[in-house]
Amino acid sequence: MSSTFGHLFRVTTFGESHGAAVGVLVDGMPPGLNVDADAVQIELDRRRPGQSAITTQRQEADRVEILSGVFEGVSLGTPITMLVRNTDQRSKDYEALKEVFRPGHADYVYFEKYGVRDHRGGGRSSGRETVGRVAAGALAKGALATVGVSLVGGTVRVGSVVASGRDWEQVELNPVRCPDADAARLMQAAIERARDDRDSLGGVVEVVARGVPAGWGDPTMDKLDARLGAAMLSIPATKGVEIGGGFAMTERRGSETNDVFDGKPQQMARAKGGTEVRAIEGRHDPCICPRVVPVAEAMMALTLMDAWLRQRALRGREK
């Protein structure tokens, strides 16, 4: 079940990087919406390797074929399966990897998990798996647009170069996809230096959603922040995620962020309209961290427990 994302808009990717194809099955697309294969292709082209000197030179046309769920350009409300054939696999490049596990890759844990693996490239752990995500995302973007929700995103940090501006129109105008043209040039230079050293650089990507109505989120376990966190951390090589102010909020007091504490007079929205200034009496924690510790341990324990039982289902044994 680990290849599936979402409950009502359920997206399952499939395919190994060096198998016949990669793709995605989308179940839950509302019926009667335009599904434009060209719009899917545009997003795939943004993801495609070989776009510029600073991406991998693997060349794949990545032409999408829509196999089901669409009739005369309109969604039927039934599962939409989209397929991209693998063409430029050069599996022989990987033949030498049959007997070794690459450091920093999933090779070893795959073997430990499954007891068998497709050694030709990363299999499912390859970035190529994201083809299906991007194709499904194109459908989601199109559907969200019908209710006024749109997304922008860009690279806001590479190595030690940090973007200061957020001019989203810039993103597709530079190969780094940075919303700050000046920073983009510095980032590009840094990446080229790393490439020439046969090395690589990490960075930070920022995504912004506009027009999301209040109330779309759910509370508690499956709150929107948690789902966004899972969404982002499921992307290969991602190691951190921040929502809103993120870690920087740690530096600020509650009275500055309005996030935790009451007691000081604050401006409040009235249910019937307008605002008023009022102090709330209540009993609150001046720092919640000590009491979060057992909660964080609990959540990690729940996560690992689920992982353990999944592995038992998969392999049929302890370990």
In the region spanning residues 189 to 208, those forming contacts with its own copies, defined by CB under 8 A, are: 190-192, 194-195, 197-205, 207
* Rounded Cα gap, residues 263 and 284, in angstroms: 9
Q: Would you say 24 and 81 are in contact if contact means Cβ atoms under 8 Å apart?
A: yes
Q: By C-beta, is 36 or 262 nearer to its own copies?
A: 262
Cα 125 to Cα 237: distance, rounded to the nearest angstrom: 10
Positions in 214-233 near its own copies (CB under 8 A): 214-233
Residues 96/120, Cβ–Cβ less than 8 Å:
no
Q: Which is nearer to its own copies, 87 or 308 (CB)?
A: 308
240 touching its own copies, by CB under 8 A: yes
Displacement of CA 229 from its chain's centroid (Å): 8
Among 55, 61, 166, 185, binds its own copies (CB under 8 A): 55
Q: Spell out, one character per residue from 157 to 186, where the chain touches its own copies: x when CB under 8 A holds, - when not.
A: xxxx----------x---xxx---------
Residues of span 271-300 touching its own copies by CB under 8 A: 271-272, 276, 278, 280-300
Six token digits for residue 245: 């102010």
C-alpha triplet 44, 50, 52: angle, nearest 5°: 105
Applying CB under 8 A, among 38, 164, 169, 316 the residue interacting with its own copies is 316
Residue 129 is a binding residue for its own copies (CB under 8 A): yes
Q: How far is the CB of 203 from its own copies (least distance, A)?
A: 4
**d(Cα 52, Cα 191) in Å, to the nearest integer?**
12
* Contact between residue 119 and residue 17 where contact means Cβ atoms under 8 Å apart: no
What's the rounded Cα separation, in Å, for the pair 55 and 57? 6
Looking at residues 89 to 118 of the shown chain, list those that interact with its own copies (rule: CB under 8 A). 90, 93-94, 96-104, 106, 108-118
Chain positions 131 to 150 lying near its own copies, rule: CB under 8 A, are 133-134, 136-138, 140-141, 143-144, 147, 149
35 binds its own copies (CB under 8 A): no
What number of chain residues touch its own copies (CB under 8 A)?
225
Instruction: Please report where in the chains the tokens 């844990």 appear, as a residue.
Output: 109
Q: Provide the minimum distance between the beta carbon of 121 and its own copies in the complex, in angstroms, as a whole number.
A: 8
Are the C-beta atoms of 69 and 30 separated by less than 8 Å?
Answer: no
27 forms bridges with which residues in the sheet? 10
Among 167, 173, 182, 307, indicate the residue that binds its own copies (CB under 8 A): 307
Tell me the CA distances in angstroms from 219 to 207, 222, 230, one per residue in order: 22, 6, 15
- Of the pair 63, 253, the CB lying nearest its own copies is at 253
